[in-house]
């Protein structure tokens, strides 16, 4: 049995929380550069140039990429051959608390959805845990902005709605989002499972690097087809008209009940602050 | 078309702007979010004086990250404008000429923009670091108790925005999409 200490996790996670806030990940940078080449609208090009310059300034000046420094969401894969000395929950929460306080990141979490008092340190976090073979600990982190999260949708479709029903729902979700999620966006899709599993799959899908497709060719083709359809809406960067409304469509699927077809679409903005660490 | 304008705005400047223009703003702008808007409208309802003269002003909808020591301001991109929709028409009636934010406006706001000759600009959502460097000064002018939501006066230089709703009733969110839809 391999042992990993709480403190080791805390330090590693804190480091990536900070890095994600200031350094745009390589996949998104590349995607923005490609989008600039493909964009036809002058306004759209000007916006994409601003976003590329924004990433340079953020990194150089240690200024957050976006002032909404997000809700900390983790997917944690725990190897069955390892054991954590101390508390995983404490390590993740404390990492976020320290990162947000020490690096002047915005505290955007309220303690109660209706009474709305700010917790003051951007905690708690959202933590999804699964167990995998092996002795490694993999932690995926994303700081999820509110503007794009708010444009996400879940639908309990009927199996008879089929593939066309699914595609229409996804394109319609993107259309309804319009300028609000600060396009260009990344569209995360979860198909199957149950009501909550579909949403979790969609969230997990936005953690995937832009440009990487589903390993199943059936879903990889669907991702490519939907990206074209969504960009053909003409909504463009920031919703001001243009070719590049979305950078990627990432789909994840899971077995489901004979009577259901759950579907979730999670919208992610270009300020996709995601990181993966393996300990 | 790219244009350079100086804040505060006059009717003449407002009427020279059209949906789809890229505009570079220099000069003073107010910064306020929901809470400061609610306070301003409450004063107007009670027929009391405002802490600031709205004539010709631009309001930027922004909720920045805390500033690092030695910095004017933290990351400072636009926030969603629709949350200000219920307050904006009255402020426009009282002299407000420009608003900077992101996302759709209500019909009531668009009507007020046409009736009183005002303009709605979009700043780039998620360009908070870039915009931060274009704000060269800021001070709290009222409602300090609201913390990050206090009413501020900022001086901006080289501030990039795009005209969405102009005084002629044009709307770039609708027209831009129509132009590129396939
Ligand atoms: S949607 Fe994304 S880019 Fe836009 S304000 Fe929120 S976090 Fe920032």
Break chain B into its structural domains and give their ranges. 2-180
Q: What is the CA radius of gyration of chain B?
A: 15
Same domain, A121 and A18: yes
- CB contact (8 A) between residue A239 and residue B103: yes
- Nearest residue to A268 (alpha-carbon basis) of A187, A179, A178: A187
How does pLDDT run along chain A (279 residues), one tens digit per residue? Answer: 899 999 999 999 999 999 999 999 999 999 999 999 999 999 999 999 999 999 999 999 999 999 999 999 999 999 999 999 999 999 999 999 999 999 999 999 999 999 988 999 999 999 999 999 999 999 999 999 999 999 999 999 999 999 999 999 999 999 999 999 999 999 999 999 999 999 999 999 999 999 999 999 999 999 999 999 999 999 999 999 999 999 999 999 999 999 999 999 999 999 999 999 999
Counted domains in chain A: 2
- Nearest residue to A187 (alpha-carbon basis) of A117, A122, A267: A267
Containing domain of residue A69, as a range? 2-22+65-144
Q: Note the pLDDT tens digit of each residue in A169-192.
A: 999 999 999 999 999 999 999 999
Cα A230 to Cα A165, A171, B21, B101: the distances in Å are: 15, 6, 25, 24
Q: Note the pLDDT tens digit of each residue in B91-145.
A: 999 999 999 999 999 999 999 999 999 999 999 999 999 999 999 999 999 998 8
Q: Rounded to an integer, what distance in angstroms lies between the CA atom of residue A1 and that of residue A79?
A: 10
Residue A80, min C-alpha distance to chain B (Å): 39
The contact set of B with A (CB < 8 A) is 20, 22, 62-68, 71, 74-77, 79-80, 102-104, 122, 124-130, 132-133, 148, 160, 162, 164, 172-173, 175-182
Q: Note the pLDDT tens digit of each residue in A130-140.
A: 999 999 999 99
Say if A241 falls within a structural domain.
yes
Same domain, A217 and A232: yes
What value of ipTM does the predicted structure carry? 0.95
Same domain, A15 and A117: yes
For domain B2-180, give the fold: fumarase (3.20.130)
Q: Rounded to an integer, what distance in angstroms lies between the CA atom of residue B109 and that of residue B104?
A: 10
Can the peptide bond before residue B36 be classed as cis, meaning omega within 30 degrees of 0?
no
- Cβ neighbours of residue B159 under 8 Å, at least 6 residues apart? B24, B25, B26, B29, B123, B131, B134, B135
Same domain, A129 and A230: no
Same domain, A124 and A17: yes
Cβ-based contacts under 8 A for chains A and B: 161
Cβ–Cβ under 8 Å, residues B73 and B132: yes
Q: Which helix (H) or strand (E) holds B98?
A: strand B98-101
Say if A38 falls within a structural domain.
no
Residue B52, min C-alpha distance to chain A (Å): 26
Say if A83 falls within a structural domain.
yes
Helix (H, G, I), strand (E, B) or coil at A203: helix
- CB contact (8 A) between residue B176 and residue A239: yes
Helix (H, G, I), strand (E, B) or coil at B137: strand
Query: End of a domain among A109, A128, A144?
Result: A144
Q: Rounded to an integer, what distance in angstroms lies between the CA atom of residue A27 and that of residue A194?
A: 31
Q: Are strands B2-6 and B22-31 parallel, antiparallel or unpaired?
A: parallel
**Average pLDDT estimate for B31-41:** 93
Same domain, A138 and A13: yes
Same domain, A7 and A125: yes
- Nearest residue to B23 (alpha-carbon basis) of B165, B168, B121, B128: B121
């Amino acid at each position: 049995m391999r042992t990993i200490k709480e403190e080791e996790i805390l330090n590693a996670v804190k480091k990536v929380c900070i890095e994600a806030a200031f350094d745009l990940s390589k996949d998104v940078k590349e995607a923005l550069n490609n989008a600039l080449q493909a964009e036809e609208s002058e306004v759209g090009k000007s916006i994409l140039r601003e976003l590329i310059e924004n990433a340079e300034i953020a990194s150089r000046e240690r200024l957050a990429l976006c002032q909404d420094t997000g809700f900390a969401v983790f997917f944690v894969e725990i190897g069955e051959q390892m054991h954590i000395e101390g508390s995983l929950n404490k390590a993740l929460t404390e990492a976020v608390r320290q990162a947000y306080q020490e690096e002047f990141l915005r505290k955007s979490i309220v303690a109660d959805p209706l009474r709305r008092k700010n917790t003051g340190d951007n905690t708690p976090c959202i933590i999804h845990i699964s167990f995998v073979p092996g002795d490694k600990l993999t932690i995926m982190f994303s700081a999820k902005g509110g503007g794009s999260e708010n444009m996400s949708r879940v639908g309990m479709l009927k199996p008879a709605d089929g593939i066309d029903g699914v595609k229409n729902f996804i394109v319609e979700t993107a259309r309804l989002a319009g300028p609000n999620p600060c396009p260009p966006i990344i569209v995360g899709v979860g198909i199957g499972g149950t009501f909550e599993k579909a949403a979790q799959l969609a969230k997990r899908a936005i953690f995937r690097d832009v440009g990487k497709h589903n390993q199943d060719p059936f879903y990889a083709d669907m991702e490519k087809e939907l990206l074209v359809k969504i960009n053909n809406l003409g909504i463009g960067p920031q919703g001001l008209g243009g070719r590049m409304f979305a950078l990627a469509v990432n789909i994840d699927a899971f077995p489901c009940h004979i009577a259901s077809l759950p579907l979730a679409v999670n919208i992610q903005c270009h300020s996709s602050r995601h990181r993966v660490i393996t300990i | 078309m790219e244009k350079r304008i100086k804040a505060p705005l006059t009717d003449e400047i407002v009427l020279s702007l059209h949906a789809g223009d890229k505009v570079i703003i220099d000069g003073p702008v107010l910064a306020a979010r929901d809470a400061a808007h609610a306070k301003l409208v409450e004063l107007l309802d009670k027929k009391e004086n405002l802490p600031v003269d709205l004539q010709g002003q631009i309001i930027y909808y922004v909720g920045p990250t805390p500033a690092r020591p030695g910095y004017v301001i933290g990351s400072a991109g636009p926030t969603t404008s629709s949350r200000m929709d219920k307050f904006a028409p009255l402020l426009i009636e009282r002299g407000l000429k420009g608003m900077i934010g992101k996302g759709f406006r209500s019909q009531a706001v668009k009507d007020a923009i046409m009736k009183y000759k005002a303009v709605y600009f979009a700043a780039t959502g998620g360009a908070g670091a870039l915009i931060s460097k274009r704000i060269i000064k800021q001070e709290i002018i009222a409602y300090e108790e609201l913390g990050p939501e206090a009413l501020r006066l900022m001086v901006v230089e080289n501030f990039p925005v795009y005209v969405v709703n102009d005084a002629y009733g044009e709307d770039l969110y609708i027209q831009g999409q129509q132009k590129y839809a396939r």
